[in-house]
Structure 1
Amino acid sequence: MRFSVIKILFLSLCIVQMSAAQSYITYDVSFNNAAQHEAEITVSFTKIKAGKFSFRMSRTSPGRYAIHEFAKNVYNVKAVNSKGETLKITRPNPYQWDVEKHDGTVKVSYTLFANRADGTYAQIDETHAHLNIPATFMFAPSLAATPIQVTFNPRADWKIATQLKKMFNNTYYAPNLQYFMDSPVELSNHQVRSFQVAANDKNYTINLALHHNGTEAELDAYFEQVKAVVLQEKAVYGTLPDFDYGAYTFLACYVPNASGDGMEHRNSTVVSSSRSLANGGMKGNIGTVSHEFFHAWNVERIRPQSLEPFDFEEANMSGELWFAEGFTSYYTNLILCRAGIMSPEAYINSLGGAFNYVWNSPGRSYFNPIEMSYQAPFVDAATSVDPVNRENTFISYYSYGSVLGLALDLSLRNEKGNLTLDGFMQKVWKTYGKNEKPYTVEDLNKTLNSYAGKLFGDYFFNNYIYKSAMPNYTPLFESVGLLLKQDSKNVFFGVSAPNGLVSGNAQKGSPAYKAGLNNGDQIVAIDNHAVSRNNSVNAILSNYKAGDVINIQYSRYNNLKTVKTTLVKDPRYTIQSFETAGKKPTEAMLKNRKAWLEKK
C-alpha cells in the first residue's frame, strides 16, 4: 500500500485524538530576545509520582559521543506547581534540578543562551532559531516514555522545518524522549525544495530546507546535486529506509555565523556551513550532504548495539565507529563521483590524503580500529586544555574506516561472484538495518563470512579489524588501473614548522622526533642556512636528500641548542591513474574502474 493522503490524514487524526486522552510533556518556546541569542522556554510535567522529581539538561547529543554540558547555557530557572505556587529547587549536580514537594505537576521556566549553529548546539538570532534538541530543552529522565508536545512561537517571517510530526498550527509531536532528542528544528525564512522517490511500495518526499542568503537559482542548482546524491545512495542499498511520516528533510544552514558541520538523525540531518553557495559552498558543502544522508541507513538503522539506547547523561562509547562513520566516509566522495558531481580523476586524487594519514600513522602500533573507535568521547568535538599526543597515538575512525572500506571494496571486486562493498552493505542492511536489529563487530564479521566466504571474512577481520595490519594496496589499486608510488627525491622531517616554529608533536620515529624537537621550539638555522619567512624549513630541506645528516639550531625557553639528525625518504604515496602516470591500463582495468566509479 502506498503512503496515501488518506493514511496521512488518518495518522494526523489519531494524534489529535491522542492529545485529548493522553498525558503529554508540553514545551513552549519564544524568541523575544533573539538579538541577544536568548529563548524563553517553559515545560510542564504532569502525573508525577509523589516524592523527589528531577529534571535536567542533556550532557550529550545524538551522533556525538563526547560530553558537552549543555546546562552551562541555562539560567533563570524557576518551578511552580499546578496552582502557580513556587517550588523550592535544589541542585545535586551541575546538570540537574530537583523539587521535593509538588502536587503531581511541575511547571519549569528558564532562559536559554544559544549562539552556535552546527550539528550539536543551538543558535538564536534575528535571522533564525537553529535548535538541536539536547542543547535546548530540559527533560525528566523518569518520564522518558511520555509523549511530547512542543509549541514554537516563531518571529514574523520564520517557517518551521523538522522531522517532528506537526499536530496543529506551530505545535509538534514526538512519541518519546529518544525521538524528541533526535529531532533538530530550523526556524527561519528558509526556502524549500522537494522531490519524490519511490521505494518500499511507497513514495517518499525528500526535502531540502535551506536557510541562506543566496538566490533561488543557486538553490535550484544545488538541489539538483542533492537529488543526484540521494538517488545514488539509494542505489547502494537498493531501497530507501522507511522514513517516518513518509519524509526526510535536509536542514541546511549556510550563513556567515554558522559553523561547518553535519549531523545525522533518523529522518533528517543538519548540514551547516559559513560558506554560501556562491562562495564555494556549491562544491564545498555537498560532501556533507553525501555523508549525512548515507547515515540514514548506516548508523541510524544499521545501528551499533553499543549505542542503544543513546545515553543523554554520560559519554557514549562504541567500538563500531570505524564501520558506522568510517565506511560512510568511504562512500562520501565515491557517491559524488557516481553522481557526476566529482570527476573520476578528482576522486582518485582525493584518496591520497586519508591513505597517507592512516598508512604512516604511528597510532596503529597502539590501537586497532575498534580501539580507535573507543576514543570518540575524547575527540568528537570534545574539549580539553591539557596537551595530548594524538599525533602519535590516534587515527580518526573516519579516515581509518574509510581506507579499510576502500580496501574491502577493491578486494571483494577481485573475488569470484561479482562481489562488491555495495553488495555487502545491502546484506548488512537486510540483516540488521531493515528490521533495526542492533549489531556488534562480531555480527559484521559473520555477515562478511556469509557474503564472501568464511576464509575471506575471517582474514579481513583478524588482520585489519581485530589487529591493525594494513592490506597490500598495490595490487588492489592496479586492478582498477591506479598506481601507488613514492617520490624517492623528497625527504621527510616529521614535524610542521612554519617560519621555524614547531607546531604540534613530532611524529614518532621521524628525524625531528629523534632530534628531540618539541611543540613550541623555534628552529633558527639548519646547517648554515638561517630560517626566515622567506627561507622556510621546507625550502631549506628541499635541497637535501635521504641519508643526509643535518645540524639544527633551535631555541627552547630562550636557550639556544644544537642537535644532529639524519633525514629519511618521504614515506608518503601518491595515488594516480595509469593514464596520468604515463602508463596504459589494460581493458580489464578500465572495465573494473568503470564498474567501481560509474553511475548506478
Structure 2
Amino acid sequence: MKKTICTSLVFLISFLVNAQTPVKYAISFKNAVHHEAQISVVFPKTSSDSLHIRMSRSSPGRYALHEFAKNVYGVTATNEKGDTLKIVRHNPYEWVLVNPKGATIVNYTLFGNRGDGTYSQIDEIHAHLNIPATFMYADAFFSHPVEVTFNVREDLHWKVATQLPNKEGFTYTAPNFQYFFDSPTEISNYKKRSFTVDSNGKDYTIEFVLHDNSTEALLDTYFEKVKRIVLAEKDVFGALPDYDYGKYTFLACYVANASGDGMEHRNSTILTDREGLANGGMDGNIGTVSHEYFHSWNVERLRPKSLEPFNFSKANMSGELWFAEGFTSYYTNLILCRAGIISPEEYAKRLNGTFNYVWNSPAHEYFNPIEMSYQAPFVDAATSVDPVNRENTFISYYSYGSVLGLALDLSLRQNGLNLDDFMRKMWEAQGIEEDPYTIDDLHFNLSLYAGKSFADHFFNNYIYKSKMPDYAVLFESVGFNFTQDENKPYTGMYIKGNTIVRNAQKESPAYKAGLENGDVILAIDGTTVDNAQTIDKIISEKKVGDVIKVKYSRYGEEKTTNLTLQSDPTYHISFNEKAKRKIEKHRETWLKQ
C-alpha cells in the first residue's frame, strides 16, 4: 500500500513538473559585427505583484564571481497585453518588474566579445555562447523547462552545436535551468566528426565539433587522438557515464580571437584557443581535451557536495578541488601517454614544471590542499585591481592536487594497488548514482580500498597538513631520475630585462636581501647589467655561499644590498633509460595500463 502511494506521488510530481509552462527565449545576431545579440524571453504567467529577473553572477565550472549583468543593456518589459512594465533596480544584477499581471515579455541587448569557457563572443565568425553569460532568468521559474530558438545567420552558413536536445529546426530544450545553464552552445560554420562507443551494452555517440580554419585532413588526424583519449579514460573507470541523451559533444573553437580555456559540462565541454590545428594546436590543445573529458566522470557526476547544486547567484567554494580538479590534472598527461600521444620520456619531462611550482612554494606554511581549494573564488578567472602576494601564499589546487595524485598513485602501486582502481571504486560508490561526496567520503573510501592505516597516513600528512611525500623513493620505484644540483648558485630573482618581475619568495636569497618586485638591477659586484642574460652569466661564475653586491634602483633611488647565493632548489625529473628490468616492468604497467 505504501509503495503504491509513493509510486503515485512520484508520478504526480513528475506530471506537474512536466506540465510546467516553459520559459521561452529567442536570440538573434543581426548586429554581430559589433558583438551584439538581441534577446527576447517570455516568462510564464505569475500571480505575484512583481517578477524578479536577473543575470547570473557565476558559471558552471568557475568558482569566482563574473557579474554578467555588466554586458546587458536596453532592457524593456511588457505584459501579455503589450503594456509597458515599470522596471525597478535594487542591485546591479537584478531587474524587478512591477505588477506583471500574467505572462511577461522581456527584451534586451547583450554585448559579448570573449570566446572562452565562461563568457560569450558574438561576431561574424560565430556566436560562442556560455548560457549564464547570455540569458536572464527568474528564480520563480528556475525549475521550469526551457525552450530557446537560435535565429542563426544563414548568410554566414551557421549551424548549432550544443548538448541541448533539439525540438525542431533551431529550437532546443532543457528540462530546467540547471541543465540549461550547463549547456554551452557554438553557432558557426563548423566541421564535425563522431564515433560510437559501446558501454555496458549501450551505444553512445561521441561528437567532436571544430570551429577552425584547418583542413579536413588535419581534423581527421586530431580526431584520431580524441578517440584514443576517450577510450583510455573509459578504461580508467570501466564504463562511460550514462550521458543523458546518449551523446557527448566536444565544442572546440580554435580561432584567432578566442582565449585559451577549457570548461567541463554534463554532456559536453568547451575547448578554446588562439592556436588552430595548423599553427600549433595539433599538439598544444590536445591536453585540454584529455583534462576536460576526464571531468565527465570526475566533477560532473563524481561531484563534491559543496558544489551541488551549483549556485548562480554567488561564488561557489569547495574544499575538494584538489581532488576534483587536481586529480583530473594528474590524469591529463598520464592519459596522453597511455594513448600514445606523448612518449614516456616526454611525460617525465612534463612533470618538472608543476612539481617545482608546488614543492618550491612557501605557501605550504599557510594553507593545506583543502584550504588552497577554498581560494578558488579569488583566483579562478577572478579579477581585482590591487596587487596580491600569491607567490608566497597560494599554490593552484590544479597543480597541488596533480602532484598529490601522482604520489598517491605511486604509493598505492608499491602495495600492489593503483589510483585507477581507487577512482573506479569512488565512481562505483558515489559517481554512478551521483551521490555527492565530502572529504570524509574520500578518506573513508580510500580506507576501504587501501586500508585504514594507509588512508590515515595519506590524509593526515598530505591533505589535512602540507607535508611533502617521499618522492625520491616513489620515483625510484618507477625508474624516474629525481635530483637537485646542490652546486648551482641561485638568487631567487625573477628577471625580465634587468627588472625583477615577481614578488620575492620567502626565505629566498632575494627576499633575505630585501629585493622586491619592480626593482631594477643596475650592477652586480661592480659589473653593469642591462639584461637577464648578463645576470645569469655573472651568477654562473659564482659559488653557493658567495656574497654578491647588488646595486639596484627603486622608485628612482639607487640602493645597494648584499645577497648570499644559495643552492638552486629546482628538482630535475627524467626518464631513467637504464632502470632494472623489474622496475621497467613496473613503470610500463603504470604508463601503459
After TM superposition, the score normalised by the length of structure 2 is: 0.96
Matched AA of 1:180: F
Q: Is the 8 A contact 1:499 1:531 kept in 2?
A: no
Equivalents in 2 of 1:67, 1:97: separation in Å?
Answer: 19
Q: Is the 8 A contact 1:204 1:246 kept in 2?
A: yes
Equivalents in 2 of 1:520, 1:318: separation in Å?
Answer: 34
Cross-structure match for 2:101:
103
Structure 1, gaps ≥5 residues long: 1-16
Structure 1 residues 369 and 20, CA gap change in structure 2 (3 angstroms): closer
Cross-structure match for 1:43:
41
Give 1:400-419 correspondences, 5 Å limit: 400-415=400-415, 418-419=416-417
Partner secondary structure for residue 105 of structure 1:
strand
2:584 to 579, 583, 590: 590
Cross-structure match for 2:347:
347
Partner secondary structure for residue 81 of structure 2:
coil
1:68 and 2:66 are equivalent in the alignment: yes
Equivalents in 2 of 1:384, 1:427: separation in Å?
Answer: 41
- The alpha-carbon deviation at position 585 of structure 1 amounts to 1.2
1:519 to 517, 520, 529: 517
Structure 1 residues 96 and 192, CA gap change in structure 2 (3 angstroms): same
2:82 to 81, 84, 102: 84
Equivalents in 2 of 1:282, 1:578: separation in Å?
Answer: 28
Q: Is the 8 A contact 2:207 2:250 kept in 1?
A: yes
- The alpha-carbon deviation at position 84 of structure 1 amounts to 1.0
Q: Deviations over 1:218-267 (max 9, x none)?
A: 10000000000000000000100000110000000001001100000000
Cross-structure match for 1:5:
none
Equivalents in 1 of 2:350, 2:576: separation in Å?
Answer: 16
Cross-structure match for 1:161:
161
1:151 and 2:145 are equivalent in the alignment: no
Equivalents in 2 of 1:499, 1:254: separation in Å?
Answer: 32
Cross-structure match for 1:215:
215
Partner secondary structure for residue 45 of structure 2:
coil
The total of aligned residue pairs comes to: 577
Cross-structure match for 1:33:
31
Partner secondary structure for residue 110 of structure 2:
strand
Partner secondary structure for residue 303 of structure 2:
coil
Provide the alpha-carbon RMSD of the alignment: 1.3
- The alpha-carbon deviation at position 534 of structure 1 amounts to 7.6
Equivalents in 1 of 2:495, 2:203: separation in Å?
Answer: 55
Partner secondary structure for residue 466 of structure 2:
coil
Matched AA of 2:385: V
Q: Is the 8 A contact 2:496 2:532 kept in 1?
A: no
Cross-structure match for 2:485:
487
Equivalents in 2 of 1:95, 1:192: separation in Å?
Answer: 37
Q: Is the 8 A contact 1:43 1:109 kept in 2?
A: yes
Cross-structure match for 1:251:
251
Equivalents in 2 of 1:37, 1:187: separation in Å?
Answer: 14
- The alpha-carbon deviation at position 18 of structure 1 amounts to 11
Cross-structure match for 2:504:
506
Structure 1 residues 213 and 18, CA gap change in structure 2 (3 angstroms): farther
- The alpha-carbon deviation at position 19 of structure 1 amounts to 12
- The alpha-carbon deviation at position 588 of structure 1 amounts to 1.2
Equivalents in 2 of 1:102, 1:266: separation in Å?
Answer: 35
Equivalents in 1 of 2:170, 2:48: separation in Å?
Answer: 33
Matched AA of 2:69: A
1:305 and 2:305 are equivalent in the alignment: yes
Equivalents in 1 of 2:464, 2:59: separation in Å?
Answer: 29
1:467 and 2:432 are equivalent in the alignment: no
Structure 1 residues 566 and 101, CA gap change in structure 2 (3 angstroms): same
Partner secondary structure for residue 576 of structure 1:
strand
Q: Deviations over 1:379-435 (max 9, x none)?
A: 0000001010000000000000000000000000000xx310000000000011000
- The alpha-carbon deviation at position 504 of structure 1 amounts to 1.4
After TM superposition, the score normalised by the length of structure 1 is: 0.95
Cross-structure match for 1:387:
387
Matched AA of 1:572: T
- The alpha-carbon deviation at position 488 of structure 1 amounts to 2.2
Moved more, 482-491 or 361-370: 482-491
Q: Is the 8 A contact 2:49 2:101 kept in 1?
A: no
Q: Is the 8 A contact 2:489 2:539 kept in 1?
A: yes
Runs of 4+ off more than 6 Å: 17-20
Give 1:202-281 correspondences, 5 Å limit: 202-281=202-281
Q: Is the 8 A contact 1:327 1:402 kept in 2?
A: yes
- The alpha-carbon deviation at position 578 of structure 1 amounts to 2.1
Structure 1 residues 502 and 20, CA gap change in structure 2 (3 angstroms): closer
Partner secondary structure for residue 444 of structure 1:
helix
Matched AA of 1:587: R
- The alpha-carbon deviation at position 451 of structure 1 amounts to 0.3
Matched AA of 1:44: V
Partner secondary structure for residue 245 of structure 1:
coil
Cross-structure match for 2:5:
none
Q: Is the 8 A contact 1:498 1:536 kept in 2?
A: no
Cross-structure match for 2:419:
421
1:548 to 546, 549, 573: 546
Cross-structure match for 1:288:
288
Q: Is the 8 A contact 1:498 1:537 kept in 2?
A: no
Q: Deviations over 1:110-130 (max 9, x none)?
A: 000000000000001111100
Equivalents in 1 of 2:533, 2:234: separation in Å?
Answer: 52
Cross-structure match for 2:12:
none
- The alpha-carbon deviation at position 22 of structure 1 amounts to 4.2
Structure 2, gaps ≥5 residues long: 1-14
Give 1:351-390 correspondences, 5 Å limit: 351-390=351-390
Matched AA of 1:93: N
Equivalents in 2 of 1:172, 1:551: separation in Å?
Answer: 68
Partner secondary structure for residue 241 of structure 1:
coil
Equivalents in 1 of 2:261, 2:166: separation in Å?
Answer: 26
- The alpha-carbon deviation at position 533 of structure 1 amounts to 3.1
Q: Is the 8 A contact 2:64 2:380 kept in 1?
A: yes
Cross-structure match for 1:448:
446
Matched AA of 1:139: Y
Cross-structure match for 2:434:
436
Q: Deviations over 1:270-310 (max 9, x none)?
A: 00010010111000000000000000000000000000111
Structure 1 residues 125 and 167, CA gap change in structure 2 (3 angstroms): same
Q: Is the 8 A contact 1:250 1:269 kept in 2?
A: yes
Cross-structure match for 1:564:
562
Identity over the aligned pairs, expressed in percent? 63
Matched AA of 1:193: R
Q: Deviations over 1:325-363 (max 9, x none)?
A: 000000000000000000110001111111111111100
Q: Is the 8 A contact 1:501 1:522 kept in 2?
A: yes
Equivalents in 2 of 1:330, 1:45: separation in Å?
Answer: 44
- The alpha-carbon deviation at position 538 of structure 1 amounts to 2.1
Partner secondary structure for residue 427 of structure 2:
helix
Equivalents in 2 of 1:47, 1:80: separation in Å?
Answer: 12
Equivalents in 1 of 2:313, 2:136: separation in Å?
Answer: 12
Q: Is the 8 A contact 2:491 2:563 kept in 1?
A: no
Partner secondary structure for residue 497 of structure 2:
helix
